Amino acid sequence: MLTPGQNAATQMAISYRTDLAQADAVLELGPALAGPALAAKASPLSGSTQRLDSDNGPANYHQVRLEHLQPDTAYVYRLKGSAGWSEWHQFRTAKATFAPFSFIYLGDTQNDILAIASRTIRQALRSVAHPALVVHAGDLVASRDDLAHDDEWGEWNQAGGWSYAAIPQLTAFGNHEYLETLNPDGSESRSLSPHVTAQFALPRNGPPGVAATSYFSDYQNVRFVVLDGTSALDLGTLQAQTDWLEQTLKSSKAQWNIVVMHQPVYTCARPDDTEPLKAAWQPLLERYKVDLVLQGHDHCYSRLTHAEGRQATRAARQARQPIGPVYMVSVTGSKMYGLNDRARHQPDRTAEDTQLYQTITVEQNRLQVRTYSADDQLYDAFDITRDAKGRKFLQEPKLALANERYCKASVGPDGLPCTARGK
């Protein structure tokens, strides 16, 4: 798996899994060539290895961090296993300065990952020519009691296949990346799944106690800030992440700032908003003029601009009033929750019982966001534009959108039994 470093123009990381016979992390890295003699210009690099014992037996997980890469450069690499070398994979580093690019944003995959969620992931990959990144909003797996956790991660890796090795994966982690643990005193707690730290070689620039799951990465003058809501809510790291978030946003010189987190500030399924995160983080998102907040967890779709509701959004757009962050919630996999009482009037647009993916195009003074259902129907479309004074405005281009998708009693929007359940 390919993951971006703090500076995606010069830093990337690669992780892979082998049997125990391959004891060391070894890869060959070289410039991408038009011809087949790739090995002639490739050099060996080493990294770190850890053993992980799982339901399927032991395996070695290897990580190699690539430093001092050249910006805007195509590289190839192959991985050493006990049976020989892998195929060659190719990636390109980010440019050193701002340049337009597109990326994909995915909500929870979690259940039926290979059977159901993989379709959405693959349709998303087909929809964007050369996506720069794939952003995941957490709950990549379910960590279910009735399925080997190692099998779930195997499905997740198979769902994205070769793309995970060629396109940097920028991931937030959700409550289902944590395992329920029983303490000696009989109380329950959570611990991060060992598969997370074994598989994801992420930037190590996060706050104390959350460095494995909270971080930032700069890509072509866009700062992506990733938060861990589960650790904040359940493991006592809320203040540490809040302090770090403020410093990370305050120090940002990026053209755009995008925050990725699992639990949504404004919910579309759960009866209540995520109040501790809302109280601690929303003021910072507003103060430091974050542009997009990409979230998951609620297994529905929501795009929210004003807490006062969609009528306030329309009025602000007609009056050319600047906006703050746009808060999005999306879902990629099969698990669906029904919409809450606020969802029909507070968010600008919602959906239930619908698998979705988002494509986001970054330009100098515009973010172009398009949401598609898994059958490639355009479901939502909006732009965030910025004027010469730095003020941001919401625009909704006049494009033909699919009808809003809701369940009516027990009947879903496809005329079949509604799969969304109440939360």
Q: Is residue 326 part of a domain?
A: yes
* Residues contacting residue 187 through CB under 8 Å, at least 6 positions apart: none
Cα–Cα distance list, 148 to 195, 313, 358, 360 (Å): 12, 45, 30, 34
Range of the domain at 24: 2-92
176 and 42, same structural domain? no
Task: Read off the CATH number of the domain in which 64 is found.
Answer: 2.60.40.380
339 and 301, same structural domain? yes
End residue of a domain, out of 36, 61, 92: 92
Q: Is residue 379 part of a domain?
A: yes
Measured between alpha carbons, how far is 342 from 309 in angstroms, rounded to an integer? 9
Q: How many domains does the chain have?
A: 2
Q: Is residue 376 part of a domain?
A: yes
Task: Read off the CATH number of the domain in which 199 is found.
Answer: 3.60.21.10
End residue of a domain, out of 37, 67, 92: 92
253 and 124, same structural domain? yes
155 and 82, same structural domain? no
259 and 119, same structural domain? yes
Q: Is residue 333 part of a domain?
A: yes
45 and 71, same structural domain? yes
- Give the residues across from 372 on adjacent strands: 357, 378
151 and 84, same structural domain? no
- Give the residues across from 383 on adjacent strands: 368, 395
Per-residue pLDDT tens listing for the chain (423 residues): 999 999 999 999 999 999 999 999 999 999 999 999 999 999 999 999 999 999 899 999 999 999 999 999 999 999 999 999 999 999 999 999 999 999 999 999 999 999 999 999 999 999 999 999 999 999 999 987 666 689 999 999 999 999 999 999 999 999 999 998 777 887 778 899 999 999 999 999 999 999 999 999 999 999 999 999 999 999 999 999 999 999 999 999 999 999 999 999 999 999 999 999 999 999 999 999 999 999 999 999 999 999 999 999 989 888 889 999 999 999 999 999 999 999 989 999 999 999 999 999 999 999 999 999 999 999 999 999 999 999 999 999 999 999 999 999 899 999 999 999 887
181 and 235, same structural domain? yes
391 and 333, same structural domain? yes
Structure tokens at 10: 């010069």
237 and 157, same structural domain? yes
End residue of a domain, out of 92, 127, 159: 92
Strand (E) or helix (H) holding 314:
helix 310-318
DSSP secondary structure letters along 150-194: HHHHHHHHHHHTTHHHHS-EEE---GGGEEEEE-TTS-EEEEE-H
| Full-model pTM | 0.96
Measured between alpha carbons, how far is 315 from 318 in angstroms, rounded to an integer? 5
293 and 244, same structural domain? yes
86 and 106, same structural domain? no
Q: Is residue 84 part of a domain?
A: yes
